[in-house]
Structure 1
């Protein structure tokens, strides 16, 4: 099968995006693994309040959307409805996470 320059470049960029998504997930889990002990000590046993709730929501939303992003981006042959559902879920979790982290 012959690929022109544009097709080959598109495939290369798609593969690069897939690798970037996998590296991002690895960094997320690495960050969690090196900070979870401090989180347990400082956050888990602290009294409940708005700050603690927002922290935990922001911290753990990424463990919902990251695997879904990977499944969507690295999976093959998803139906249009599956892609649409994954896009909606990951889009909303991303928006919620940004609003929590950056909201004033």
Structure 2
């Protein structure tokens, strides 16, 4: 059975999105690995304040939502309830992260 052009195009786009998600996760971990020493020195031992709290939320929310995005997008045979839950969690962490980063 051959795929029609629309089906093949959809599969190609899905594969491209999957690769993009994997690359973004790799970049996230790479960025963390090259900046964690400065973060420990400058942030971890600094007194608590709004700036430190916002920095840490912004920095570490991505370590929650990125694996969930990958699991949602690359996983197979998720039930509708699992997909809905993953969509809600990743959606809200994305919104919170944007609000923290943009400050509006």
TM-score range, shorter chain: over 0.9
Written as runs of structure 1 = structure 2, the 5 A alignment for 1:83-94 is 83-94=83-94
- 1:36-93 deviations in whole A, cap 9, x for unaligned? 0000000000001110000001100000000000000000010000000000000000
Q: Distance in 2 between matches of 1:79 and 1:69?
A: 15
Q: Which runs of 5+ in 1 are unaligned?
A: none
Q: How many residues align?
A: 104
**SS of equivalent to 2:47:** coil
**TM, length-normalised to structure 2:** 0.98
Query: What displacement does 1:11 show?
Result: 0.5
Runs of 4+ aligned structure 1 residues displaced above 2 Å come to none
**TM, length-normalised to structure 1:** 0.98
Query: What displacement does 1:103 show?
Result: 1.2
Q: Distance in 2 between matches of 1:6 and 1:90?
A: 28
Q: Distance in 1 between matches of 2:48 and 2:84?
A: 36
**SS of equivalent to 2:61:** helix
Q: Distance in 2 between matches of 1:92 and 1:7?
A: 31
Q: Which runs of 5+ in 2 are unaligned?
A: none
Query: What displacement does 1:21 show?
Result: 0.3
**Corresponding residue number in structure 2 for 1:54:** 54
